[in-house]
Amino acid sequence: MAVGSFEFGLSANALNAWAVWILPFVAAVVIPGVAKFSKKATNGVAVAFALASAISATTLLPLALGNNEIHNQIPWISSIGLKAGVLADPLAALMSNVVAWVSFLIFVYSTGYMKGDKDITRFWFWMAFFVGSMQLIVLSDNFLQLFFGWEGVGLASYALVGFWYKDKKKDHVGIEGRRVLGLVDYYSPTHSGIKAFIMTKVGDIMMLAGMFLIFAFAGTFGFRELTENTAWATTMSAQHLLMPAAVLLFGGAIGKSAQFPLNEWLLEAMTGPTAVSALIHAATMVKAGVFLVARLAPLFFALAAIGINMDQFFEVVAWVGAITAFLLATQGMVHPEIKKVLAYSTGSQIGYMMMALGVAGLSRQFVDGYTAGFFHLISHAMFKASLFMAAGSLLHIVGSRFMTDMGGLRKYMKKTYAFMWAAGLGLMGAPFITTGFWSKDAIFAAVYESGNTWALPIFVLALITAVMTTFYTTRMIGMVFFGNKSKHVEEMEKEGYHIHEASPSMWIPYGILAVLTIGIGVVGLAFEHQIHDIFTEYLASAFGIKSDMANVAKESQSVLGGFLEGVNPVALVSSLSAFAIGFGLGYIFYIGKFVDSTKFVNSNIFFYAIHKFFLNRWYLNALIYWGFVVAPLYFARGVYRYFENIVIEGFNLVPEKTMAGGARIMQATQTGISQSYLYVFGAGILIVVLLLLI
Amino acid sequence: MIDFTSTPIILTMMLGSVGVIIPVISVARKEKGSSLYGGIAFAALISAISFVGYQIVSKHVTPAAIFSKNVLVDDTFGSFFAIAMLIVAIMTTVGSFNYMRGKTSPAVYYSLILLSSIGMVLIAYSTDLVMLFVAWELMSIPTYVLAGFAKKDPSSNEAALKYFLFGALSSGIIIYGISIAYGITGSTNIGQVIAGFSKLGPDMTPLALLAVAMFIAGFGFKIGLVPFHMWLPDTYEGAPPTISALLAAGTKKAGFAAALRVIIMGAIALDLNWAFALAIIAIVTMTVGNLAAIMQKNLPRMLAYSSIGHAGYILIGLSIAPFSQIGIQASLFHILNHAVMKASAFIAVAGIITTLSVSHIDKIRGLGKRMPITSLGLVISLLALAGVPPLNGFWSKLMLFGAAINAGSVVSWAPYLAVAGVLNSALSLAYYGWIIRKMYFEEGESEKRVKEPKSVIAVMIFSIIFIVGIGVYPDPFIEFAKSAVPALTNVTTMH
């Protein structure tokens, strides 16, 4: 089946697979040079390279659809047997297309959004670097190369989150002056960049450990090699090291995908330019973790064939996903900042994907959950990128990140209004016409049908999350577009500012994605079946994971027959009712405004307490700061004051003085007098003769 | 019998004729201006290195060999060194464009660089002791002049004088070694000398031993082995900084070429416990170099000590040559890497000295803002010298220390070399880090950006690409170094 398992030469396809990730890096290198001649031209260059990379990615699709793969390797460091390579199997090919096209649209959007920023060169450099690193992750055929991309993504996110390094007040996130457990809940861009970097680094180190643990036993980093010969797994399993290694690897995904308990960086990452947020949330950073799990899950699942049970790993994945989905959705319901709401929503939706992938490994029909998770990744990439870019336009026009400063904008920004509805419906999972509905439904069905002991609690959590998702999305649209104009907007108009639609280079990209959300949504079920078929074949041929055909036959007896063939009735009814409840509540509070939400929250102590609990992020962020930042600082100061000063300074003089003394002796011998040098030279010959005689 | 198509001969003719013509042009040409001569020298060196590259790619050079009936052999060992030396010569030439502006007799300066590089290249190709000595002198004499090129500067004069004094001494010692070798074997051909050494009776062995010791001392002077290193910091500090680059990165490496050709082979034939002796010298050299470097306040001087430390690292590979397959390969790879790293560090310092006329470490505070590209190049070179991944120095140090640990299965003391090397690398980070800290994390007196010399920028860009490029993709150069390792089995089977 493999088209390109050759070691020699490069077919056109293999060349394209390399080009997908190399082109963005080339762009990053070229852009500073172009900027020397014309800063404006950097826009064109960046977009052109993104387009070229996307087209290269598209050429990989026909192969993926035919369940072929390109696997091309070149020697990297042959003395230790390392090879660099690209692996474009159906999973990687689909993923790289999602990444490439969504980033391309975001690049187009950025040309409008970043207009006039004097640091545009730096912006494009890191954006291109970001996309290149992500494509490197997607197309790598081994762990080590993937890790290079992984760190590249981390570095780029650090640079872009802290892009506005002058820490102006308008670029902060959080509410100024607000305190949680005595710590400020208000962060500057530079602080947020470092926070994102360090928190994801915790995961990275775990991943590095897992990676080398496997390498120590398998002697290879290659994904294909690990699949072909599974003797390493047997040895590791016998020594009880396989599960820790797998969970450590998942630790990397937790960090990068902002899953519980490393989820807190994602909110502060909103300090970056909105185009960056869109990129982080839809295409590059957080999806990397999901991709890693999607890369590894079949590998681990297939180990069942040689009698190794990996259920614990999948349980961890499923639970982390479910908890994150729930945790972040609760907080998304109460925050007043539009980008933060979207950020919470991303974390929550990524949780869904993880949950689906985890559940896949716990069920007999691996492919169902796998497809559901990946389908949700695709649909989320579309509607979330669209929502973020639309939110960026709002910020741009209104000049405030708070939804309470917007309101009643639907008459002024008709296009943004329409597209936000379309994409928002996708996030809510509006029945039958949005991709979000079908992908979420697929996840529910996969969880429900998995037959695992944990299926029911996870299912319930997922369902409650869906209600909340619909609610906060409705709330967001209601607060921004409905009701009366806020004081802030009125003041702006008084000063002569005219609220207007965003420029075409901005609304066209999110328009396209919003339309796609609905367009693909209409044929969503067919689309899902298509992915399902691709993955069924892929998993069977690459990993030997066979799908149970009897189950498929059972599915076709579903209630509505024909149109809804293959849809689980329970899942369907659940997602329909989740949408109905969430949307209904949201409508009552924020669109119809039958009940004033603030009064409602303050009406009784129970609601007030919950609201505050959610707004304070379950106190997790504050606890992390207390535990890992404030306490160590106090401890370090204490150590310095009571230990370093008294104990170490007392005893430590010995090595310090020896070193300094040694260095001083060396210095003293260097007299500058030639006679003494010659003397040493002569003595040296004698010493050498003596040494030779030893 | 001279083969006029062999690489060393053609290189000699190419560089030699240009080297002689440059001063002639300057006599004929009335107007001043140094750039023409630099340009000619640059072109000559570029065509020389391209020629060597072509010879290697087109497989005109023979596999690495130590012995030959002729005085010169056209093998990959020599070509490897030729590439390394010529890179250094090119970097020095380009780096000098700015330094030489407005200085007297630029034509002579560039001509001397060319002549000296012929010497460096020929050493690596020599298979005869007399040829080797002639090449050695051809390399050394121009550098004595170059070290004192700033003739109105007392410290440059002192540098040149000390250098010359020690150079003359070591030349004498080498000659003495050669004469002993000739006396007991009746030949100056390295192959025959070694063959003769291995058949010596016990009464002659002490003499042979003395010859090897003389070679170690004589070549060790150029390499900067402790205790033959005393002249080195004074000279590197006083000489024009671009010439320090040539000395530290070029002539020092030529010393290693000679050492590899003569000492290692000779010592293997003599079956002495020379490996242990070299190991001790290696440890002492790296420790002394790094310890002394910590206290230095003057940039060229600090780099001088750092290059003593690196001579110690390179010696690790030589000392374990008989016990590990990759010992010499690692040394060669580190020689090439160190040549580029050290040359680029010195030229960055030269750029700093010529633009701001400071060389004291306290005066470079906040330099990162004033000379961003030079500072970046310096930082990358220093990090590479310290062996930080993913830069080229990391891989060659990894190979060196790995080889030492590997050799532990044969000789028990070898792993301690790796321990010493790692400890020393950590120690060296202290002073490299110190420079970086001064440049980037301390406030300078001024933040105004100064104009960086274009020639220095060009060298910096080249070395950044080289250092990072090899760091990311070291494979071709590791393989190149492997192909340049002479087959030691030939020697050991001779006796």
A77 touches chain B (CB under 8 A): yes
The 10s digit of each residue's pLDDT in B57-74 is: 888 788 777 677 788 888
- Position A605 scores a pLDDT of 84
A689 touches chain B (CB under 8 A): yes
Alpha carbon of A146: minimum distance to chain B alpha carbons (Å): 14
The 10s digit of each residue's pLDDT in A614-657 is: 888 888 888 888 888 888 888 878 777 776 666 656 666 666 67
Question: CB–CB of A565/A556 below 8 Å?
Answer: yes
Query: pLDDT > 90: what percent of chain A?
Result: 17
- CA–CA distance, A213 with A193 (Å, rounded to integer): 30
The 10s digit of each residue's pLDDT in A424-468 is: 998 988 888 888 888 888 888 888 887 778 888 899 999 999 999
Alpha carbon of B490: minimum distance to chain A alpha carbons (Å): 23
B390 vs A135, more confident? A135
Nearest Cβ partner of A672 from B166, B227, B234?
B234
- Position B182 scores a pLDDT of 92
- Position A644 scores a pLDDT of 65
Q: Provide the sign of the torsion angle of the four alpha carbons B363, B366, B370, B373, taken in this order.
A: positive
B221 touches chain A (CB under 8 A): yes
- Position B493 scores a pLDDT of 41
- CA–CA distance, B207 with B56 (Å, rounded to integer): 39
Residues of A with Cβ-Cβ distance to B214 under 8 angstroms: 685
Nearest Cβ partner of A692 from B162, B209, B228?
B209
- CA–CA distance, B171 with B136 (Å, rounded to integer): 8
Which of B475, B479, B482 is the mutation pick for testing A, counting most A CBs within 10 A? B475
Banded model confidence at residue A234, pLDDT cuts 50, 70, 90: confident
Question: CB–CB of A313/A222 below 8 Å?
Answer: no
User: A76 vs B473: CB contact, 8 Å cut-off?
Assistant: yes
- CA–CA distance, A134 with A21 (Å, rounded to integer): 8
Verdict on whether the full-model pTM lies above 0.80: no
Nearest-5° Cα angle at A595, A590 to A601? 90
CB atoms within 10 A of CB A225: 15
**pLDDT surpasses 60 at A565:** no
User: B213 vs A688: CB contact, 8 Å cut-off?
Assistant: yes
A678 touches chain B (CB under 8 A): yes
Banded model confidence at residue A498, pLDDT cuts 50, 70, 90: confident
Banded model confidence at residue A566, pLDDT cuts 50, 70, 90: low
User: B478 vs A694: CB contact, 8 Å cut-off?
Assistant: no
Question: CB–CB of B285/B224 below 8 Å?
Answer: yes
A212 touches chain B (CB under 8 A): no
- Position B207 scores a pLDDT of 86
Nearest Cβ partner of B217 from A659, A676, A684?
A684
Nearest Cβ partner of B291 from A78, A663, A683?
A663
The 10s digit of each residue's pLDDT in A56-102 is: 999 888 887 787 888 888 887 776 677 888 888 888 999 999 999 99
Q: Average the pLDDT over A168-185 and give the result.
A: 78
Which of B268, B291, B315 is the mutation pick for testing A, counting most A CBs within 10 A? B291
- Position B492 scores a pLDDT of 44
Nearest Cβ partner of A664 from B161, B280, B295?
B295
Alpha carbon of B342: minimum distance to chain A alpha carbons (Å): 22
- CA–CA distance, A456 with A280 (Å, rounded to integer): 32
Minimum Cα–Cα distance from A686: chain B residue: B213
The 10s digit of each residue's pLDDT in B429-445 is: 888 988 888 888 888 77
Residues of B with Cβ-Cβ distance to A76 under 8 angstroms: 473, 475
Residues of B with Cβ-Cβ distance to A674 under 8 angstroms: 161-162, 165, 231
- Position A7 scores a pLDDT of 40
Q: What are the beta bridge partners of residue A83?
A: A75
Backbone angle region of B84, left / alpha / beta, with phi > 0 → left and psi within -120 to 50 → alpha: alpha
Q: Average the pLDDT over A337-342 and give the result.
A: 88
Buried b (16+ CB within 10 A) or exposed e, A470-505: bbbbbbbbbbbbbbebbebbeebeeeeeebeebeeb
- Position A549 scores a pLDDT of 52
Q: In chain A, what is the straight-line distance between the N-terminal and C-terminal CA atoms, in Å? A: 65
Give chain A's mean pLDDT.
Answer: 84
- CA–CA distance, B123 with B258 (Å, rounded to integer): 6
Query: pLDDT > 70: what percent of chain A?
Result: 93
Give the helix ranges, DSSP H, for A229-337.
231-238, 242-256, 265-268, 274-278, 285-302, 311-332
- Position A553 scores a pLDDT of 42
Query: pLDDT > 70: what percent of chain B?
Result: 96
Question: CB–CB of B145/B160 below 8 Å?
Answer: yes
User: A678 vs B234: CB contact, 8 Å cut-off?
Assistant: no
What token pair was written down for B122?
């020929």
User: B280 vs A691: CB contact, 8 Å cut-off?
Assistant: yes
- Position A558 scores a pLDDT of 42
Q: Average the pLDDT over A166-175 and give the result.
A: 78
Task: Give pLDDT < 50 ranges for chain B.
Answer: 489, 491-495
- Position A654 scores a pLDDT of 67
